[in-house]
Structure 1
Amino acid sequence: MIRVMVVDDEALIRSGFQHILEAAGDIEVVAAVPGGQAVRTAQERRPAVVLLDIRMPDMDGLAVLAELRRLPQAPVVAMLTTFGMDDYVAAALHSGASGFLLKDTDPERLPSLVRTLAEGGTVLSSEVTRTVVDGFLNAGPRQDAARRLQRLTDRERAVLAAAAEGLTNADIATRMHLSTGTVKDHVSAILAKLEVSSRVQAALLAERAGFLRPARGKEEP
């Protein structure tokens, strides 16, 4: 079972996401709480994936993201967002968010997107993040990005390229004939060598360096 926590200040949103996800059969919503309760609840219930509203009146979603990322067993965090919030999305990207979901995501696709996140993949809503991603790619010198890429071994470059396609750790392991644990170790080494905090940032930095064709992970339509 994939343990998920939904964080949103609107009770209707929380209950709607919980109903959709739990109907999938392999997903357990261990908590559905407003922003002010998110960090304490995550410590108690230890979700694998957190769906976090990017902007809430009682506590800023970006502040919650930062605290969740500092937990000893930090969950994968995907931000729930709407159109026209590029500044918030950009900040979340730099803070290590693993994905961005529109609040009006097709209910039939939501469970598969959560599975992708739980398995180490990324989910990017192209409609929301296109401007932000383009800005990220244009920020900073390409030479610096290329210099960081040179730190990777050939095997790590291959893992990075596969991760940039949106493949999960299990998918990469199958493709490269490795164990899932070995892939996880490679991903950890890649993040450390590239000086980034998420697979999304690693893929975007590689794209900025010209190592990849444009890659956005698994996109939400």
Structure 2
Amino acid sequence: MIRIVLVDDQELVRTGLRSLAERDGDIEVVGEAADGREGLRIVRELRPDVVLMDIRMPQLDGIAATAQIVADPQLTDVRVIVLTTFDEDILAAIRAGAGGYLLKDVEPADLRSAIRVVAGGESLLAPSVTTTVLGRLGTHLATSVRPELLDGLTARERDVLALVGRGMSNNEIGAELFLSPATARTYVSRLLAKLRARDRSRLVVLAYESGLITPGRAAREGAGRRQGPEPGA
């Protein structure tokens, strides 16, 4: 049974989410809160597997509440899915450490699937999806480049981080750098530890925030991978 907590300032939304989440019998809503501050209290008390977190709430917004959950050493097993109706909230949610995000018009089956994925320790945001999101929000990232984020990384680790930022899988990274998939996976795990990132989605954000890659470059290179090499290449 997957235990979840709902944090949303609209009772009608919480009622609907409860009904949809519990439909298949393997997910149980163990707590609810109408604002971020109360949500934090309940999460710390109940330690659920997953929190469905609204963003725009009184007392404490969902971004701040998510950041506090992620930073709490007592809540390392609690994962957060941010629920929003605003695309511009996505970047803030990833930065705060959310395991994923969903728009509130998500299909019921997709909601339950998302809960299961995040409860299993996976990120709901695939790197390729995150790259697309950050490409749309590139102007926000361009004003906050912090190259010092890369301090302590080797040249090879920077290469791997750049490829993660472009949305590549471990197999694709290995092929690009002439490494085995297992070695590529080891580099990614090392980056997660060194950069204190929860998942690959956070690594994508860091690749952009550090200035290692830019939204325009990632989009062009991603398109090149999808189209394949030019004839004779």
The answer to whether TM tops 0.5 is yes
Q: 1:132 to 1:148 in 2, by over 3 A?
A: farther
Percentage identity across paired residues of the two chains? 34
Match of 1:219 in 2: none
**1:76 and 2:73 equivalent?**
no
Report if aligned partners of 2:95, 2:205 keep a CA contact under 8 Å in 1.
no
TM-score (normalised: structure 1): 0.67
User: Cα distance, 1:81 vs. partner?
Assistant: 0.7
* Greater fraction of residues in helix: 2
User: Cα distance, 1:78 vs. partner?
Assistant: 1.6
- Root-mean-square deviation over aligned CA pairs: 4.1
Aligned with residue 121 of structure 1, among 119, 123, 140: 123
**Whole-angstrom distance in 1 between the partners of 2:90 and 2:199:** 14
After superposition, where does 1:99-118 map in structure 2 within 5 Å? 99-118=100-119
Question: Over residues 140-184 of structure 1, what are the superposed CA-to-partner deviations in whole Å (9 max), with x where a residue is unaligned?
Answer: 66976777763777xxx59x95xx5799xxxxxxxx78xxxxx8x
TM-score (normalised: structure 2): 0.64
Report if aligned partners of 1:65, 1:95 keep a CA contact under 8 Å in 2.
yes
Q: Structure 2, unaligned stretches of length 5 or more?
A: 171-180, 223-233
**Whole-angstrom distance in 2 between the partners of 1:61 and 1:142:** 25
Match of 2:195 in 1: 194
Match of 1:180 in 2: none
Report if aligned partners of 1:49, 1:78 keep a CA contact under 8 Å in 2.
yes
**Whole-angstrom distance in 1 between the partners of 2:133 and 2:188:** 23
User: Cα distance, 1:109 vs. partner?
Assistant: 1.0
User: Cα distance, 1:116 vs. partner?
Assistant: 1.7
Q: 1:141 to 1:66 in 2, by over 3 A?
A: closer
**Whole-angstrom distance in 2 between the partners of 1:95 and 1:39:** 14
Match of 2:65 in 1: 64
State the SS of the aligned residue for 2:109: coil
- Count of residues in Structure 1 that have an aligned counterpart in Structure 2: 198
Q: 1:116 to 1:76 in 2, by over 3 A?
A: same
Higher Cα radius of gyration: 2
**Whole-angstrom distance in 2 between the partners of 1:96 and 1:46:** 17
Question: Over residues 188-212 of structure 1, what are the superposed CA-to-partner deviations in whole Å (9 max), with x where a residue is unaligned?
Answer: 64323235454312134347645x9
State the SS of the aligned residue for 2:117: helix
**Whole-angstrom distance in 2 between the partners of 1:148 and 1:206:** 14
Report if aligned partners of 2:123, 2:199 keep a CA contact under 8 Å in 1.
no
Letter in 2 for 1:16: G
User: Cα distance, 1:13 vs. partner?
Assistant: 0.8
Letter in 1 for 2:46: R
Report if aligned partners of 1:152, 1:190 keep a CA contact under 8 Å in 2.
no
**Whole-angstrom distance in 2 between the partners of 1:20 and 1:52:** 15
Q: 1:196 to 1:3 in 2, by over 3 A?
A: same
Question: Over residues 50-72 of structure 1, what are the superposed CA-to-partner deviations in whole Å (9 max), with x where a residue is unaligned?
Answer: 11001112432222122212321
**Whole-angstrom distance in 1 between the partners of 2:54 and 2:197:** 23
State the SS of the aligned residue for 2:81: strand
Report if aligned partners of 2:80, 2:98 keep a CA contact under 8 Å in 1.
yes
After superposition, where does 1:21-60 map in structure 2 within 5 Å? 21-35=21-35, 36-60=37-61
**Whole-angstrom distance in 2 between the partners of 1:135 and 1:47:** 36
Q: 1:12 to 1:137 in 2, by over 3 A?
A: same
